[in-house]
Structure formats: C-alpha cells, structure tokens
Amino acid sequence: MSAVLQVFDPIDASAAPEPEQQDWLMCLVELLAQLETIRCELAGFRIGTDHAQIAGHVETMIHLTDRLARETEFDGAQAGLQSDAITKVGSFYSALNGIRKPPGKGMFGKMKAALFGTGTPSPAAVRDCLFVAISALGAYFVLFAYRLIALEEVAGWRDAANTFLTDFKQLATDLPE
C-alpha cells in the first residue's frame, strides 16, 4: 500500500484566486442561479394575461442584482459603469410604472383609456419593459466583470452572463400574447 493512486492533479496554490475573489465569484454564481430560476418561471406566462406576474418577476431580478451591487465596493474607476447601470435601472422602473399604473381619472386619463384601453398594458409595452430590464442587467453584469481580477474568471463570468442575457432576450421575444 505504499503506492498511492493520484486521481487529481495537485492543486497549484499560486493559481487559486484570492479568498475575496472566490467569495465574489460565488456571489455572482448564486445571483445568476437565482436569475435563471426566475427566467425559467417567466417561460410559463402570457404577456396579455400575466403582465402583473411578469412585472413582479422581472422587478425581483432587478432588485436582486441591484442589491448585490449596493453591497459591493467598487473602485472609483468603475464609477461610470455604476452610473450607467443605475441609469438603466431608472429606465426600467419608468417602463415598469408605465405597465403597472392604470390611466388616471382626469381628462388625459380618459383620453388615454379611450385610445389605448382601460388598464391592460399593450404586449409591446410589456416587451419593452422586459428589454429595458435586460439592458439594466447587462450593465450590471459588465460592472461585476470589472471586479473580477483573474482573466479566466472574467471570461467565465462573461460567457455565463452573456448566455443568460441571450436566453432572456429570446424568451422576451417569444413570450406568447
């Protein structure tokens, strides 16, 4: 029993990321897993009848991503990326309010209801909200990538994030009315 069969290559400690980087990467993997779960739930919805549920699910995606960004320290060099992500989140909430709020009771609200219907948003408005959310998530994903120092980790994160965004765009395009 003196010979030991070594199945795995020895671990190169110099190639391992710093513990903080490992923790950050795990946070990103967990976030992406949560977002993917929500995206899969969206696949069962219809834009015309389930717009409120779609809005709630997508808002949860934005909230989870925004919360991670708020809990993370970024260098001053990423200030422009942070600003871009925050701006896109603001655009998302504007689009979200547009599909959540029914027309007002004043003259403008009555005209809007007469032209566009009473309280159900158009499928185009719901899709636009989804695409704005995808844009905001993409901006955060770029910001998160800059926090990863090891190039192999950045490439892996970008691949996973881009796959998620591509699948989400396809879902937003294909959701039935």
Quickly count: other Cβ atoms within 10 Å of residue 41's Cβ: 13
Average of per-residue pLDDT across 94-105: 79
Q: Is the pLDDT of residue 4 over 50?
A: no
Please compute the mean of the pLDDT values over residues 139-166 and round it to a whole number.
87
Q: What is the pLDDT of residues 15-67, one digit of tens each?
A: 444 446 668 889 999 999 999 999 999 999 999 889 999 999 999 999 999 99
* Per-residue pLDDT tens over the stretch 101-145: 765 666 666 666 666 555 688 899 999 999 999 999 999 999 999
Which contacts qualify for 79-85: CB closer than 8 Å, 24 or more apart?
Answer: 81/139, 81/142, 81/143, 81/146, 82/143, 84/139, 84/142, 84/143, 85/136, 85/139, 85/140, 85/142, 85/143
